[in-house]
Amino acid sequence: MSACEFVFEAIGTRWKISIDQELSPTGRTALLDTILARIERFDRSFSRFRDDSDVTRWSRASGTYPLPEDAAPLFALYRALYDATGGAVTPLIGQTLVDAGYDARYSLKPKERISSPLAWDDAIEVGHESLVVKRPSLLDFGAAG
């Protein structure tokens, strides 16, 4: 049994974090606040379900956008998966998921026409600190776990 445990819902899943160390009530609160703030930053950057997220902004217009501090490793993982699977695993799947009914309202009602993801090099170019959106596309990072 752990000395400290947090259980909560966030970013579409149930979290259970167990720590084998005693924490004071103040320490527990501070740690949970830090965890929740980190999840909020991730969600604000990478959620396609939020109107105020970076992902949503990137989907609206071509241009060069600054990347969040933790985006480079995430994009590198997706690029490796994209290359290894011949494009079958792609962050460019977001609009396809929306069209299939996995939208912000969880309608689960597919549209008559379900779009195909754009090719990576046609849609985006990822630098270490910036993202060039050549053709706006809704990204989805759910496959990263």
Longest dimension (CA), the chain: 55
Residue-averaged pLDDT of the chain: 94
Rounded to whole angstroms, how far apart are CA atoms 6 and 137?
Answer: 36
Q: Is residue 144 scored above 90 in pLDDT?
A: no
In this structure, what token pair is assigned to residue 65? 């956008």
Cα angle at 103 between 55 and 70, to 5 degrees?
Answer: 25
SS (H, E, C) the chain: CCCEEEEEEECCEEEEEEECCCCCHHHHHHHHHHHHHHHHHHHHHHCCCCCCCHHHHHHHCCEEEECCCCHHHHHHHHHHHHHHCCCCCCHHHHHHHHHCCCCCCCCCCCCCCCCCCCCHHHHEEECCCEEEECCCCCCCCHHHC
pLDDT at residue 2 greater than cutoff 70: no
Segment 56-105, tens digit of pLDDT: 999 999 999 999 988 999 999 999 999 999 999 999 999 999 999 998 88
Domain boundary assignment for the chain: 4-46, 54-144
Using left for φ > 0, alpha for ψ between -120 and 50, and beta otherwise, residue 111 falls in: beta
Cα–Cα distance measured from residue 138 to residue 95, given in angstroms and rounded to the nearest whole number = 5
This prediction has a pTM of 0.86
54-144: in CATH 3.10.450: no
